[in-house]
């Protein structure tokens, strides 16, 4: 999906800085002075004991979920830094490296399968699907080379749908979103295609005839709003997005749907709080949204996962 992320998304992912060359100070008109001999240098101090210190300076995101057997799942993706890495940990098993480099990700458990998806930096095949330890590579349609930005994934009656979003490196207000349908085993079902969703995507849910999509709107410089839009089954937006929350802190979006309603669980409110908002009905752009319900504290070392009953649970970054 290409086209403008503005006004619904202020994309602040990339910054490119060029090394500056130090200036050369100019001399004045002072008379030359014979320099004094430099003192003898002190003997060098003994080297400190060797100690391996691992410091990550990347923007790291924890995506949490539950495997079909109930084990906690931790997908960690990173952008920036010296050595960004995507890792997957299921239960108390050791984490597995999925990719070395910038990436964004999503995961979904349904139909007895855990499906993990990544969007990575790659010239031709930036979209990856992982099921049962096997990787499937999906090519980007057309001849482009953009950068990973956001993702959303949902289960459907026939399998799964993944939305991959990239931004152009030379114009971060231009987004391209791609939709991939998978069968119940997590295998590609048809061709991946670009869809006209130019807004910053957060999560998606099947609404019975298409998709309800949660978006981030950060155009007011007051944090971000939850915004909602519905899509047809082929990924076409059905209206302009609405306002579904007040502006403020907003992250870790999780949509849950059943036969009666669609709920959005997210980190928001005044500080690190677990919030929920009914987003069954799409409202109006600029309208007065209902206040979300505060479900309690959500510390910064945890992420939201949804259990098999559609209820939110908190997953710590480190396995117990």
Q: Which residue has the higher pLDDT, 288 or 241?
A: 241
The average confidence (pLDDT) of the chain is 85
Q: Could you report the per-residue pLDDT of 84-136, keeping only the tens digit for each?
A: 999 999 999 999 999 999 999 999 999 999 999 999 999 999 999 999 999 99
pLDDT in the model for residue 57: 62
**What CA–CA distance (Å, rounded) separates 255 from 74?**
18
Residue with the bigger pLDDT between 11 and 92: it is: 92
- Between residues 143 and 228, the one the model is more confident about: 228
Whether 39 has a pLDDT exceeding 90, the answer reads no
pLDDT of residue 31: 37
The predicted model gives 265-274 an average pLDDT of: 88
The larger pLDDT score, comparing residue 288 to residue 25, is at 288
Question: Cis (ω within 30 of 0) for the bond into 176?
Answer: no
Q: Walk me through the domains of the chain, giving residue ranges and CATH numbers.
A: 59-316 (2.120.10.10)
- Of 280, 285, 320, whose CA–CA distance to 302 is shortest? 320
Question: What is the pLDDT at residue 219?
Answer: 82
Q: pLDDT exceeding 70 applies to what percent of the chain?
A: 81
C-alpha–C-alpha distance, residues 229 and 22, integer Å: 50
Output the pLDDT for position 190: 95
Give the pLDDT confidence score for residue 6 in this predicted structure. 39
More confident site: 184 or 32: 184
What pTM, to 2 d.p., does this model score?
Answer: 0.82
pLDDT of 229-256, one tens digit each?
Answer: 999 999 999 999 999 998 888 999 999 9
pLDDT greater at residue 65 or residue 18? 65
């Amino acid at each position: 999906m290409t086209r403008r992320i503005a006004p619904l998304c202020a994309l602040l992912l990339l910054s490119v800085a060029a090394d500056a060359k130090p200036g050369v100070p100019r001399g004045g008109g002072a008379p030359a002075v014979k320099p004094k001999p430099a003192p003898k240098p002190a003997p060098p101090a003994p080297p400190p004991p060797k100690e391996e210190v691992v410091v990550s300076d990347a923007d790291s995101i924890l995506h949490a979920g539950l495997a079909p057997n109930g084990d906690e799942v931790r997908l960690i993706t990173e952008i920036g830094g010296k050595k960004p890495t995507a890792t997957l940990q299921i239960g108390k098993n050791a984490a597995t490296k999925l990719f070395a480099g910038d990436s964004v990700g999503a995961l979904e458990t349904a139909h007895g399968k855990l499906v993990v998806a990544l969007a990575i930096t790659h010239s031709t095949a930036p979209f990856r699907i992982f099921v049962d330890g096997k990787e499937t590579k999906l090519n980007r349609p057309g001849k482009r080379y953009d950068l990973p930005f956001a993702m959303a994934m949902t289960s459907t009656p026939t399998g799964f749908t993944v939305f991959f979003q990239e931004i152009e490196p030379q114009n971060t207000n231009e987004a391209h979103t791609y939709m991939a349908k998978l069968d119940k085993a997590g295998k590609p079902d048809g061709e991946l295609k670009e869809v006209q969703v130019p807004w910053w995507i957060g999560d998606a849910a099947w609404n019975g005839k298409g998709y309800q999509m949660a978006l981030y709107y950060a155009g007011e410089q007051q944090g971000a709003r939850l915004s909602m839009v519905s899509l047809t089954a082929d990924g076409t937006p059905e209206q302009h997005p609405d306002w579904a929350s007040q502006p403020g802190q907003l992250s870790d979006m999780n949509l849950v749907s059943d036969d009666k309603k669609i709920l959005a669980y997210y980190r928001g409110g005044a500080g690190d709080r677990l919030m929920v908002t009914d987003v069954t009905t799409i409202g109006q752009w600029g309208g007065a949204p209902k206040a979300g319900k505060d479900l309690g504290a959500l510390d910064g070392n945890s992420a939201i996962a949804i259990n098999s009953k559609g209820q939110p649970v908190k997953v710590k970054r480190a396995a117990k």
